[in-house]
C-alpha cells in the first residue's frame, strides 16, 4: 500500500534511518518481490554517509539520466554494498529495466556512451559506467512500466539480490535474505 501526500510519498515500509542501517548492517528483508521503493531524497538521507558514497550516487544520477534519454522509460533496482553499512563501497550494483523494443532498437553508439566496458556476462548485458563506479545489468522487459516480479526475468533478479552473500567480509550477520531498492524519481 502506498499513500501519496502532495509531493511526499509514504510507503508501506520505509527505509531504516542511517543509524539503524549502520547498526543492522543491511536492509531488512521484506519478502519476495518487495524491494524498498524510494526516491532520491530517501536514498540520500539513509545511504550517503561517506564521501565515496556521495561520489557513487552522483555518478548513478548522471548515468540514470543518460539511460532514460537513451531508452525512454526505465526502472532501477539498486543493490550491493551500497545498500549495506559498508562505509566505502567499491560501486553501486544496478539492474536497469528497459523496454525490450527500445533496447533492441537503440543505437549501439548510445549504449557505448553509457559505459567504457560493455560486455555479455552470463547471458546478461553488463555495463560498468564511470570507470566501474556502477556495475549495471540491462533487463529487457516487454512493458517496463507494468512489469511485475512474477515475470521470470525479474523474479530471478529478486531471488539473486535478496540473498545474503556470506563471502562478503563486511557483513556480519546470520540473515539469509536482505532488502534492496527500487529507486524512483
The larger pLDDT score, comparing residue 185 to residue 23, is at 23
Mean pLDDT within 121-129: 67
Distance CA 88, CA 139 (A): 27
Give 75's pLDDT tier (boundaries 50, 70, 90): very high
Distance CA 152, CA 149 (A): 7
Q: Number of H helices and number of E strands within the chain?
A: 7, 9
Q: Is the confidence at residue 133, as pLDDT, over 70?
A: yes
Total number of residues shown for the chain: 185
Q: Which set of grid coordinates corresponds to residue 26? A: 543491511
Q: Which set of grid coordinates corresponds to residue 23? A: 547498526
What pLDDT digit, counting tens, does each position of 144-183 carry? 999 999 888 788 889 988 988 877 756 677 888 999 999 9
The chain-wide mean pLDDT, for the chain, equals 83
Residue 17: other Cβ atoms inside 10 A? 11
Specify the DSSP element, H or E, that contains 132. helix 129-132
Taken in order of first residue, the domains within the chain and their CATH numbers are 10-183 (3.30.460.10)
Collapse the DSSP code of 93 into the 3-class scheme (helix H, G, I; strand E, B; otherwise coil) and give the result: strand
Distance CA 119, CA 115 (A): 10
Amino acid at each position: 500500500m502506498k499513500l501519496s501526500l502532495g509531493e511526499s510519498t509514504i510507503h508501506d515500509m520505509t527505509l531504516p534511518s542511517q543509524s539503524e542501517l549502520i547498526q543492522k548492517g543491511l536492509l531488512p528483508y521484506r519478502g519476495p518481490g518487495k524491494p524498498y521503493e524510494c526516491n532520491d531524497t530517501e536514498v540520500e538521507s539513509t545511504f550517503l554517509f561517506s564521501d565515496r558514497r556521495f561520489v557513487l550516487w552522483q555518478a548513478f544520477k548522471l548515468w540514470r539520466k543518460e539511460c532514460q534519454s537513451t531508452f525512454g522509460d526505465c526502472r532501477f533496482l539498486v543493490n550491493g554494498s551500497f545498500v549495506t553499512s559498508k562505509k566505502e563501497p567499491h560501486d553501486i550494483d544496478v539492474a536497469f529495466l528497459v523496454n525490450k523494443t527500445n533496447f533492441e532498437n537503440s543505437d549501439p553508439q548510445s549504449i557505448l556512451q553509457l559505459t567504457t566496458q560493455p560486455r555479455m556476462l552470463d547471458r546478461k548485458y553488463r555495463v560498468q559506467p564511470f570507470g566501474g563506479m556502477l556495475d549495471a545489468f540491462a533487463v529487457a522487459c516487454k512493458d517496463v512500466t507494468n512489469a511485475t516480479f512474477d515475470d521470470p526475468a525479474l523474479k530471478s533478479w529478486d531471488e539473486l539480490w535478496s540473498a545474503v552473500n556470506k563471502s562478503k567480509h563486511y557483513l556480519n550477520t546470520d540473515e539469509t535474505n536482505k532488502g534492496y531498492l527500487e529507486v524512483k524519481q
